[in-house]
Amino acid sequence: MNVAFVAHDHKKEEMIAFTIAYQDLFKPHTLFATGTTGRLIMENTDLDIMTFKSGPLGGDQQIGAMVSQNELDLLVFFRDPLVAQPHEPDITALLRLCDVYGIPVATNMATAELLVHSLERGDFHWRDVIHQNRPSNVAHFKRSLSSTAKQEATGVVDQSLPRADSV
């Protein structure tokens, strides 16, 4: 399974504690995170994480691209509901994409623990059906990001994916 971690500044310590507690469960999975969150998790655990840019610098959108390519199976996003975020539209777009593509999302510790225990029990096997229809490696995802960037630059866009204005 492909799992991504995002945490706002006031929630990073909580994310570190969460990933320390469940690092053995996460080890067999392919892990992603926004820049600072991923760096802090790797500094405090034995987990190997592919990091994107920091959330405000486009990291949330990079994870959103994974979601739109059906390359993400679970998102753990510890949001700080008490602080306005300068990149709130990116956050809203990421959560909306997770709803569009049926990606389970935890935005707090309680929900994250429920989803982690579901992952441990094998309750995410329905995602394996989706995986059968696509390459399940990071190299494919990197190629698809590159291809999407080229399509946007040339104005030729793949119409096989749902468009934001048609959902």
What CATH number is associated with residue 151? 3.40.50.1380
**Distance (Å, whole) CA 115 – CA 124:** 9
Q: Of 19-23, 47-51, 122-126, 151-155, which gets the smallest average pLDDT?
A: 151-155
Q: Name the residue with higher pLDDT: 140 or 66.
A: 66
Asked if the model's pLDDT at residue 130 lies above 60, the reply is yes
Per-residue pLDDT at 129: 73
Total domains present in the chain: 1
Per-residue pLDDT at 158: 47
Residue 161 confidence class, pLDDT cut points 50, 70, 90 = very low
**24, 46, 60, 165: which is the annotated catalytic residue?**
60
For residues 24 and 95, the answer to whether their CB atoms sit within 8 Å is no
Asked if the model's pLDDT at residue 92 lies above 50, the reply is yes
Asked if the model's pLDDT at residue 122 lies above 70, the reply is yes
Measuring CA to CA, which residue among 42, 16, 31, 28 is closest to residue 72?
31
**Two tokens at 86?**
């300068």
Q: According to the per-residue pLDDT averaged within each range, which of 29-38, 87-96, 130-139 is highest?
A: 29-38
**Axis crossing angle, helix 59-68 with helix 88-101, rounded to the nearest 10:** 20
**What domain range is 71 assigned to?**
2-166
Per-residue pLDDT at 165: 42
**Distance (Å, whole) CA 112 – CA 76:** 6
Measuring CA to CA, which residue among 12, 115, 109, 119 is closest to residue 55?
12
Which pTM value belongs to this model? 0.78
Per-residue pLDDT at 142: 55
Amino acid at 20: I
Per-residue pLDDT at 13: 98
* Residues whose CB is less than 8 angstroms from the CB of residue 118 and which lie 6 or more positions away in sequence, other chains included: 104, 124
Asked if the model's pLDDT at residue 128 lies above 90, the reply is no
60 counts as catalytic: yes
Q: Name the residue with higher pLDDT: 64 or 87.
A: 64
End-to-end CA distance of the chain: 26
Element (H, E) at 128: helix 126-132
Backbone angles phi, psi at 66, to 5 degrees: -60, -45
Three-point CA angle 159, 71, 78, nearest 5°: 120
